[in-house]
Structure 1
């Protein structure tokens, strides 16, 4: 069974606008919503961005069914003991709807700018491994355990595609996510993730029934054409075929990232593309 998440970067929109889109996703066949985690907007530092865990808590309080997560939380931003407590709290207040997505940190300049150090990519992966081990200790009930413990397992998603990250996926993760810029690598990477389930982030230039195909496609290509196969443009029928092909390659969840995340587009996508998979 395919799972569908709305990937909703909290950039350029107010909190009320983001909440509206999440609530629209909930009533339009989506299973979850995911935010990003940065202290400044990637490639546009003057553009406002909201804090990831606070926004997730806000949206969780205003939805009933939607699962809540991130692609992905930046490990260097939070001490593992604080992260463990935040995750348990958000999982509890949401009725078990929170999923913990983690990565080692993809923007070294951001880490330096805000005082998180100058660790190499290799060292950041090592630090992420320590966090994963710590989380198990804090949640497992041994002498280091925090109280309260999770009342139910908190699903863990890891993002990244290097050999050391894939080893962490095999050892620790319930889910693994492939970013849109590397969708073409899905067939070669799925065999390397062990028992984890595969998810794919996909940018979509969705052309609604009454949409202008040329206008939607040209705008999406201008903004996201560098994604290559990570961008797909089309009406519902084409997108059903596209996602079906990725499912055949091993993807079990899709994080749909709209080139134009208007509430109307989110609703129509859910009512046509997602519904098309039964």
Structure 2
């Protein structure tokens, strides 16, 4: 899985274009009670073509950036198209994809000063909301597998940092972790992985990707360097691009083909 047989730096083409005459999944908005925040919160949930309560599915939690919410991936990244195409090509394992709002506060809209301290803090608070509120809701309301090997977390920018921070801090919950252009909220590598040898044994996949023109690339560089220094298996992809959607969509496309 961590070999060099596949060149992930070459962006695929056509994977994000809607096709005719293929089976389609469904993406809908749900509300779940959050004891962490103290109100109901929204998320989007993608169920694959042919979703059936008679089967059990793995779950990918897919996180947005600092300027987004539960609609950002849906509006700009079109994950439902990417995933539908992968199912049509038989290139993906059956999974549910949950698109939460990673800004865990009562007014969680991306409005006003999105860099205000309380809004930045809300991205940290999301760890509790995810683990204690959202995941239990999904597991109670969808036909899903509940072991760590059936749970993945990934995200772009701020959500990429969250995915590393939350995923690596909860390896008993997540075996598959992906970060696309992680932002400065990403913890220092020594804090992310204080025991890299243990993490190396527990991880099924750690994916890290970034555009070569991204002004935040130093975050990915330092993380990759630490992982390499401590022999933590991971896929590192430095591709042609900036801090933008082509990089993030390619990250989702590649990562989702490898998990579960």
Task: State if a TM-score over 0.5 links the two structures.
Answer: no
Higher helix fraction (1 or 2):
1
TM range (shorter): 0.3 to 0.5
- State the TM-score, normalized to the length of structure 1: 0.40
